[in-house]
Amino acid sequence: MRLLSNVIDGFRSLFRKGAIEREMDEELRGFVEASTADKLRRGMTSDQAIRAARVEMGSANAVKHHIRSEAWETQVEVFWRDLWYGVRMLLRSPGFTAVAVLTLALGIGANTAIFQLLDAVRLRNLPVMNPGELTLVHLAGLPDTRGNHETDYPALNNPLWEYLRDHQHVFSQVLAWSPTSLGITVGDHERLVQGMWVSGDFFNVLGVRPALGRLFTSSDDRPGCGASGVVVSYKFWQGQLGGNPQAIGSRLTIGRHAVPILGVTPDGFTGPEVGRSFDVAAPICSQSAYWTEGNWLDSSTDWWLTVMGRLKPGASLSMANAGLESLSPAAFEASLRKDYPAENVRDYLHLKLVADPAPGGVSWLRDKYESPLWMLLGLAGFVLLIACANLANLMLARSSARVREFAVRLSLGATQRRLICQLLWESFPLLVLGAASGLLLAGALGKSLIALLGTQGDSLFVDLHPDWRVLGFTATLATFTALLFALIPAFRATRLAPSEAMKTGSPRTGGTHESNRLRRGLVITQVALSLVLVTGAVLFARTFANLLTVDAGFREDNILITSLDLSQLRLPVARRLAVKKEIVDRLHEIPGVEAASEVGIVPLSGTSTTNRVWAEGEDRQSVIDPNFNSTGNGYFNTLGIPVLAGRDFDEHDTPNSPRVAVVNQEFARRLGKGASPVGVRIRREAKPHDPETVFEIVGVVKNSKYKDLREKFVPIVYLAISQEQDPDPFEQIILHSALPLPILTSEIKLAVDGMSPEISVDFQVFKTQIRESLLPERLMAVLSGSLGILAALLTAVGLYGVISFLVTQRTREIGIRMALGAGKRQVLSSILGETLMLTVLGIAVGLPITFGVTRFIASMLFGIKPSDPVALAFAALALCGVGVAAAYIPARRAAAVDPMTALRYE
Amino acid sequence: MGERDVVQGTLEMLILKTLALEPMHGYGVATRIEQVSQSVFRVNPGSLLPALARMERAGHVKSEWRASENNRRAKYYALTARGRKALSDEATTWNRQVSAIARIMEA
């Protein structure tokens, strides 16, 4: 009621301004008259009385101003006026506006783009029902498990999952899934799509409702279900099935099966993994039907299912974990299968399950990029600070031209608060423009960031829509920015005592010593912050360069990886080795192919296998934990890895001959049997499908990198593919050839087609794969480099502005000095000298900051220390160069001053 | 003790109390406060008129133009029901504070 009448009153007075004004005047006049009359009655003369009454009242305008300011509508009016004034100022100086908006847009845009990505991969919850209740169930600690880990995420084996599903009372619901690739035939060519094995309850637990048809229920996921039916994603339905409702019930050809499409998931649901979406989901039970090789359903050594539990309403995580702890012994007991190596069974039975909160699902993208992104956000924050300093300088220059205006208004009774408000509101349109363009820029930058992270084989899917968090971030950033760049100059401009301000020089040259100090301080800060950014950029660039040029121990150029899938041939196991051998031989015969060999694990692909090994006859306790690879003969030749002692594998190494191994130097060193342990017999622990085996070392090769370029050389044991007891129908061949890529690949396809058209072939360039393993480093190098350049540019603009201002201010002084005989050269060098001094001061201030900040990036560097003197010196010199370049134009202008004109100036 | 401004924060309460007797114009309120306080407090128009404007917006007083004693048009302020309530609230608080302060000063 009161609020309403207040609002109505406010609007009424907005429209009846004249009448309100007259009433106020009348009331004031009445007051003075009554007071005068009173004083007359008390015996004053009429002159005295009128005078006294007027003194009582003071300035009628001030009183009226106070009365007016009691009403909100006045504030609104003033606010509009200031805002409009701000807009007019922007329109009047388009050059200033463009520079300021661009500066703001770059600063805010860079920050928002990085934050947006962080928001998408880290902060946001999964778009499912009550994501806060979701937990990830995995093995506790660093589990010592045997077998194959098939996903990037913590995973359980299927018997364990089934036990958990059927016997747990810890969670209200549980789900499991595993990412996979499925070969789908559309028309007559097959292509790989992103698949997902899911438990029957999967969609139900996540609260996902079908957009069309139906999703799985627990009855879809039953033992022996075969290739029964699939659910497709909305994107797949739209893109591949034309969004046709008739698609439900139609059949999709996956491998050899034509399976019915049961339903479509809703738009916006992209699965429990951030960074990857899915096309087709199939029940877990159908894994063995789609895959010709390997049945993971009844294996306790295939760790492939990622499991999530939904906490019961009101249940805490620790309650869930207590439940899992008591459930664990029975679960591992029940899930143990015969394939688990006997000597590790005890360890298996002691494994434990734990749950961790996982409202954001899982994401390798997050694991890999979270800390680089936070680091980049910090660097971008520095850039924004530098941008703020520029803007503050611009605003300072503007407001110092108005110091007199403010002084007059202050002495007429305006409050400092009112003036500061005015200045803030004036900068508001600028801020809104800057923030809006920043947000737009961030959208584009975000997309290119994602593109930067994608690789040839793996398409990334990150949902980058700006949500309330991103908008809030931008708004906070903008507010913070405004406080920095508008508030400080506003305080500065309105702080002077009026009398002092009226005395100061003409508004044209404006400014006091104090504000010059502030200006210099801002530039010094900019240089200091730039030093951090430029040093960081140099460090990351060097890291990337070091990794690119690090000696990996093998040839990287002209190597092609060819992956072949022979499973359609349905070869008996006994024939596989021979067929594979024949393919290698045929590829080797292609003119221009210098070497070719089979290989199990391509170095730096991220895959690894380790098993325990010890010298025969020695204590089983003195074991080595080397990495394993399996290679064909000619592997070392193909990759240019020198054989230091003994021999490579050859045609005499067959499944029936004694097992042999080649080891690298590091393994030989750890084995402690001299530099050349050729002839030493080593024992490898039992594997799920392989008993404990003895190998004789027949060769020693030079060290090379195994899993990633940053590692120190690790021990490696190479086994002969030609001795494999149970070869699978997949083959990986590396070729060394200088042939142009298109020719080489078409020759290979021709050769393979000659064997059988049913073999599918896939290529990857080794060098590209290595480059892609360096994506995080590349991201850091590119982005920190861009931020460093941006920082240096902004600082250059800042220096330019300040030096030009100083030159203008000192025109007279320069004129006098030239009249007294100073040459152009001296003037030039004195201006440049002053600039250099500012820059050097900035560098001095920046050094400790740089040391403080770069300590945090030490772990991200390679081959360079965070306090590398060369990097620092380079950054410092670069900044000095930027400083001198920025000051050159104003310095030239100063040198061109005509003494006569300058002296007549005032 | 000479003339001084009213105790901070009490101006509105004093105005409410003064207007509780009868509707008055601005100058009347000022004079009444000065008289009743035996010239201890003086209220100048620079604070009185804005205060009245504020109280009117808050709905504690309402105003109306009337002829004054000497037959000039003057803006008369009168207490509203809400103003009366505000007065009794503020008076209660005030009395409590005064006695508390008194106790402290006597201790």
Q: What confidence tens digit (pLDDT) does each residue in A8-64 have? A: 777 776 677 778 888 888 888 888 888 888 888 888 888 888 888 888 777 777 788
Q: Using 50, 70 and 90 to split pLDDT, how confident is the model at A502?
A: low
Closest alpha carbon within chain A to B51: A67
Choosing among A6, A31, A64, which should be mutated to test the B contact, i.e. which has the most B CBs within 10 A? Answer: A31
Mean pLDDT value of segment A824-839: 89
- For residues A263 and A7, the model is more confident at A263
Query: What residues in A contact B45, CB-CB < 8 Å?
Result: 28, 31, 56-58, 63
Q: What is the pLDDT of residue A458?
A: 60
Using pLDDT thresholds of 50, 70 and 90, give the confidence band for residue A2: low
pLDDT band at A508; cut points 50, 70, 90? very low
**Residue A457 confidence (pLDDT):** 56
Q: Which residue has the tokens 């990337």?
A: A544
What integer pLDDT is reported at residue B57 of this predicted model?
A: 83
For A780, other C-beta atoms within 10 Å of its C-beta total: 27
CA distance A164 to A149: 19
Which tens digits make up the pLDDT trace of A739-749?
Answer: 999 999 999 99
Which range, A243-257, A428-442, A691-705, is most confident?
Answer: A691-705
How much is the average pLDDT of A66-90? Answer: 78
Q: Note whether A598 and A733 are within 8 A (CB).
A: yes
User: Which CA distances in Å does A397 have to A140, A429, A805, A838?
Assistant: 62, 18, 8, 19
Label residue A496 by pLDDT band (50, 70, 90): low
- What tokens were used for A371? 């800390």
Rounded Cα distance, A655 and A657, in Å = 6
Contact B59 A31 (CB under 8 A): no
Size of interface A-B (CB pairs under 8 A): 68
What six digits make up the tokens of A808?
Answer: 């203008």
Residue-wise pLDDT tens digits, A783-792? 999 999 999 9
**A59, closest residue in chain B (CA to CA):** B46
Over the stretch A552-562, which tens digit does the pLDDT of each residue have? 999 999 999 99
Predicted pLDDT of residue A43? 85
Please give the structure tokens belonging to residue A125: 């919850």
Q: Determine which of A496-505, B66-75, B84-93 has the lowest per-residue pLDDT on average.
A: A496-505
Residue with token string 């134009």 = A889
If pLDDT is split at 50, 70 and 90, which confidence band does A507 have?
A: very low
Strands A559-565 and A730-737: antiparallel
- Determine phi and psi for A140, rounding to 5 degrees: -75, 150
Residues of A with CB under 8 A from a CB of B: 2, 5-6, 9, 23, 26-28, 30-31, 33-35, 37-38, 56-58, 62-63, 66-67, 69-71
A734 neighbors A597 (Cβ within 8 angstroms)? yes
Within 8 A by CB and 6+ apart from A63, the residues are: A28, A57, B45, B46, B49, B50
Nearest Cα to A745, choosing from A542, A99, A737?
A737
Give the residue numbers in B contacting A (CB under 8 Å), as ranges: 25-28, 31, 44-47, 49-50, 53-54, 57-59, 65, 68, 70, 72-75, 82
Minimal Cα–Cα distance from B48 to chain A, Å? 9
pTM: 0.75
Are A711 and A862 contacting, i.e. CB atoms less than 8 angstroms apart?
Answer: no
**Nearest to residue A683, comparing CAs of A674, A692, A672?**
A692
Indicate if the pLDDT at residue A290 is higher than 80.
Answer: yes
pLDDT of amino acid B1: 39
Which burial class, exposed, middle or buried, applies to A742 when counting CB atoms under 10 A from its CB (0-12, 13-18, 19+)?
Answer: exposed
A612, two tokens: 């325990």
- Sign, Cα dihedral of A770, A775, A781, A783: positive
**Going by DSSP bridges, is the β-strand pair A280-283/A189-198 parallel, antiparallel, or unpaired?**
parallel
How does residue A506 score in pLDDT terms, banded at 50, 70 and 90?
A: very low
Question: How far B96 CA lies from chain A's nearest CA (Å)?
Answer: 28
Tallying the residues shown for chain B, one arrives at 107
Q: Mutation target for A interface from B3, B12, B24, B27: give the one with most A CBs within 10 A.
A: B27
Say whether B74 and A23 touch across the interface (CB within 8 A).
no
Q: How far is B106 from chain A (nearest CA, A)?
A: 38
Q: Are B45 and A28 inside 8 Å of each other by CB?
A: yes
Compute, in degrees rounded to 10, the torsion defined by CA atoms A808, A812, A816, A817.
-20
Helix (H, G, I), strand (E, B) or coil at A714: coil
Average pLDDT, chain A: 86
CA–CA separation, A123 and A475 (whole Å): 18
What does the pLDDT read at residue A420? 83
pLDDT of residue B2: 45
Nearest Cβ partner of B57 from A6, A35, A63?
A6
Q: What is the mean pLDDT of residues A103-110?
A: 89
Per residue in B12-45, pLDDT (tens digit) is: 899 999 998 888 888 889 889 888 888 888 888 8
Fill in the amino acid letter for A298.
D
Task: For residue A9, give the nearest of B28, B57, B70 by CB distance.
Answer: B57
Write the DSSP assignment of A63-124 as a string of letters.
HHHHHHHTSHHHHHHHHHHHHHHHHHHHHH-HHHHHHHHHHHHHHHHHHHHHHHHHIIIIIS
Shortest CB distance from B27 goes to which of A6, A34, A62? A34
Å between B45 CA and nearest CA of chain A = 6
For the segment A120-139, what is each residue's pLDDT rounded down to a tens digit? Answer: 888 888 888 899 999 999 99
pLDDT of residue A509: 42
Local confidence band at B4 (pLDDT 50, 70, 90 cut-offs) = low
Residue percentage of chain A with pLDDT more than 70: 95
Helix A17-41 to helix A46-57 angle (10° resolution) is 140
Mutate to test the interface with B, among A54, A55, A61, A67 (most CBs of B within 10 A): A67
pLDDT at A742: 92
Confidence of residue B73 (pLDDT cuts 50, 70, 90): confident
Least confident of A500-509, A543-552, B13-22: A500-509
pLDDT at site A897: 78
Residue among B31, B47, B57 whose CB faces A71 most closely: B57
